[in-house]
Amino acid sequence: MPAIQFNDNPEMANVIDLQGIGQSYDGGQNWIIKDLDFRIEDKPGQGQFVVVLGMSGSGKSTLLRYIANLQKPTEGTVLINGKPTDEAERVSMVFQQYSSLPWKTVLENVALGLEFQKVGRKEREERARELIKLVGLEGHEHKFAQYPTLSGGQLQRVAIARSLLANPKILLMDEPFGALDVKTRLQMQDLLTEIWRKFQSTIVFVTHDISEAVYLADDIYILNYAPSQFVEHIKVDLPLVRNRLTKRDPRYIALVHEVEDRMVAVSEVQ
């Protein structure tokens, strides 16, 4: 299955630009990722919500680590707003595993990025409280960010608030709702769509849940593997403002089936 072509729009700058990416862990004898391109353009006044799908081992999390500058590819270039990751503004990442520091409070965790930036305590706490309120954790500021003091959903809200405060322009999310119960997961999906509309962020979201992907995304990209490249691009032609009724929409249901069929087709080519 041939890789899709990313055609640059000269009228739009690229927020995220991966060019000719390759990843090998044995000196080039075997390639996990090879000749991979991935571009997300800036959409002023809207942002983008991109979901990456692919089978286990296809490199979805690895791509996020490249963007977050947590890992370097064996070959290729990673640019954030036209700059190499070492020179660009730092990009935060929300993991499936709870990533808060359990010996710090909710307030301290959310403000952590500003603390590293040497922002004064008063300012960083004021700004952190705004995000804590936004994600629905007002009243929990002085609780330690650990389970079971906070629920799984609350801990992920802490991580989202911390990431937004550090850099609201780009948000990377690696299966952040995978460990949550169904009710909490649905609540977190709606919270994330509200955050996207408010901040007009560029969000790159990895999930294995196809219905979640269609509900959240305006673009879905599918990875094959061995070696990995992007082989499918699905434009989600649903209204940008979505709610629970969206999931009853015939177009939503059809898109879920379409993405499922394409995922199966990709797996059968391997």
Residue 262 has pLDDT above 90, yes or no: yes
**Rounded mean pLDDT, 88-107:** 89
Give dist(CA 181, CA 148) in Å, integer. 15
Question: pLDDT > 70: what percent of the chain?
Answer: 99
Query: How high is the pLDDT of residue 138?
Result: 95
Q: What is the 3-state secondary structure (H, E, C) of the chain?
A: CCCCCCCCCCCCCEEEEEEEEEECCCCCCCCCEEEEEEEEECCCCCCEEEEEEECCCCCHHHHHHHHCCCCCCCEEEEEECCEECCCCCCCEEECCCCCCCCCCEHHHHHCHHHHHCCCCHHHHHHHHHHHHHHCCCCCCCCCECCCCCCCHHHHHHHHHHHHHHHCCCEEEEECCCCCCCHHHHHHHHHHHHHHHHHHCCEEEEECCCHHHHHHHCCEEEEECCCCECEEEEEECCCCCCCCHHHHHCHHHHHHHHHHHHHHHHHHHHC
Residue 66 has pLDDT above 90, yes or no: yes
* The residue type at 258: E
Other CB atoms within 10 A of residue 113 CB:
19
Q: What is the pLDDT of residues 115-151, one digit of tens each?
A: 888 889 999 999 999 999 999 999 999 999 998 999 9
- With vertex at residue 111, the alpha carbon angle to CA 107 and CA 114, rounded to the nearest 5 degrees, is 165
Query: How high is the pLDDT of residue 54?
Result: 94
Query: How high is the pLDDT of residue 90?
Result: 86
Residue 251 has pLDDT above 80, yes or no: yes
Q: Are 211 and 201 in contact (CB under 8 A)?
A: no
Q: What is the pLDDT of residues 219-239, one digit of tens each?
A: 999 999 889 999 999 999 999
Give dist(CA 48, CA 170) in Å, integer. 9
Residue 252 has pLDDT above 80, yes or no: yes
Work out the pLDDT band at 245, boundaries 50, 70, 90: very high
Q: Which residue has the higher pLDDT, 7 or 160?
A: 160
Residues in the chain: 270
- Would you state the structure tokens that stand for residue 114, as one six-digit string? 């500003």
Question: pLDDT > 90: what percent of the chain?
Answer: 77
Q: Which residue has the higher pLDDT, 99 or 186?
A: 186
Residue 114 has pLDDT above 90, yes or no: no
Give dist(CA 258, CA 233) in Å, integer. 11
For residue 169, which phi and psi values (nearest 5 degrees)? -80, -35
Write down the pTM of the prediction. 0.93
- Would you state the structure tokens that stand for residue 59, as one six-digit string? 């490199």
In our burial notation (b when 16+ CB lie closer than 10 A, e otherwise), range 52-81 reads bbbbeebbbbbbbbbbbbeeebeebebbbb
Residue 11 has pLDDT above 80, yes or no: no
Work out the pLDDT band at 216, boundaries 50, 70, 90: very high
User: Of 94-98, 153-157, 204-208, where does mean pLDDT reach its minimum?
Assistant: 94-98
Query: How high is the pLDDT of residue 263?
Result: 95
Work out the pLDDT band at 270, boundaries 50, 70, 90: low
> To which residue do tokens 């299966």 refer?
175
